Chains A and B, each alone.
Chain A
Amino acid sequence: MAKLIARPATDGLLPIEIGKAILEDAQPQAITWVAPFNRKKSAVSKTLGGFPGPGEVVEVKAGRALSVGPGQAMILGAPLDCEGAAVADQSDAWTVVALEGAAARDVLARVTPLDLRDAVFPEGGTARTLVGHMTASLTRVGPFRFEIMVFRSMTQTLIHELERAMKHVDARTKL
């Protein structure tokens, strides 16, 4: 049987550094979708070490848990299984990239309708929103660092959109 070579979705495309922003791969070891069954949320939360409410990020035993929809979380980190919840391995279905730098927020402001001001989207905040025409999950992991998660099939489109925005933000600073 042919031996397949695993490659990351961003292979050969990242990192990209333009002006005061750098775009790099941030793919975790595993991505797991967890949705607790009815009346099982507190049991699941106990098993995992926490469960995020709307817009929250919680550090759990396996890694970082992001709120991604009503009663749903995506856990980025080690693979896991959990009693009392629907669990699906999403590791190969999503791509995670990180945008970092003093210009990161200005770059994102060009491609997402989300309000990115500190008061509305502070460090540790997460949101399902749009990036260009793609639905995405956006998480602010540091004061100048954002993680962006889209369907793996849209990786090149995401990088294209962000690279264009990075170029445009950089061009304006040089006027």
Chain B
Amino acid sequence: MRLTCPHCGDRDLREFTYKGDALALLRPDETANPQEWVDYVHNRDNPAGTTSELWYHGPCGSWLVAVRDTTTHVTHRTLSLAEAGK
């Protein structure tokens, strides 16, 4: 598997670390109710299909969002956090 680092370009998987669902970027605001916080902190979908994930490129220190398909292993696109709106 290869991923595209927003700074370095196309690189081998060994250079990256998985950092969880990209849902982590969607932090609830101060007015959110407890259920929204529970969902944000604990609950994750486990889709057979398209999923958004956070990855970290260790050698250069960039974070990225990879949108990929868990059934075909195709990576549709990778975004820097700036492009992902964070």
Q: How large is the interface on B (under 10, 10 to 19, 20 to 34, 35 or more residues)?
A: 10 to 19
List B44-66 residues whose CB lies under 8 Å from chain A: 58-62
Tell me which residues from 7 to 29 in chain B have a Cβ below 8 Å from any Cβ of chain A: 7-12, 14-15
> Which of B6, B15, B62 is in CB contact (< 8 Å) with A129?
B15
In the complex, A113 Cα to B61 Cα: how many Å?
A: 17
Residue A70 interfacial (CB < 8 Å): yes
Interface bin, chain A = 10 to 19
Within 8 A of B (CB), among A27-69: 54-55, 68-69
Q: Would B59 and A70 count as touching, CB distance under 8 A?
A: no
- Note all chain A residues with C-beta closer than 8 A to B15: 113, 129-130
CB atoms of A70 and B7 under 8 A apart: yes
Chain B residues positioned under 8 Å from A129 (CB to CB): 11, 15, 59
Q: Is A103 in contact with chain B by the CB < 8 A criterion?
A: no
- Assess the A128–B60 pair: CB atoms within 8 A: yes
Nearest CB of B to A161, in Å: 15
Q: Which residues of A contact B60 (CB under 8 A)?
A: 68-70, 128
Q: Contact between B14 and A128 (Cβ–Cβ < 8 Å)?
A: no
Contact yes or no, A127 B12, CB < 8 A: no
A113 touches B9 (CB 8 A): no
Q: What residue of chain A has the Cβ atom nearest to residue B13's Cβ?
A: A113
When distances are taken between beta carbons in the complex, the residues of chain B under 8 Å from A68 are 60
Enumerate chain B residues within 8 angstroms of A69, measured Cβ to Cβ: 7, 60-62
Determine if B14 and A130 form an interchain contact, defined as CB atoms under 8 angstroms apart.
yes
Interface of B toward A, CB cutoff 8 Å: 6-12, 14-15, 58-62
Beyond known contacts A69-B61, A129-B15, A130-B14: 5 more, CB 8 A cutoff: A54-B8, A69-B60, A69-B62, A127-B8, A136-B59
Q: List 18 A-B contacts (CB under 8 A).
A: A54-B7, A54-B9, A55-B8, A55-B9, A68-B60, A69-B7, A69-B60, A69-B61, A69-B62, A70-B7, A113-B12, A114-B12, A127-B8, A128-B8, A128-B59, A128-B60, A130-B58, A136-B59
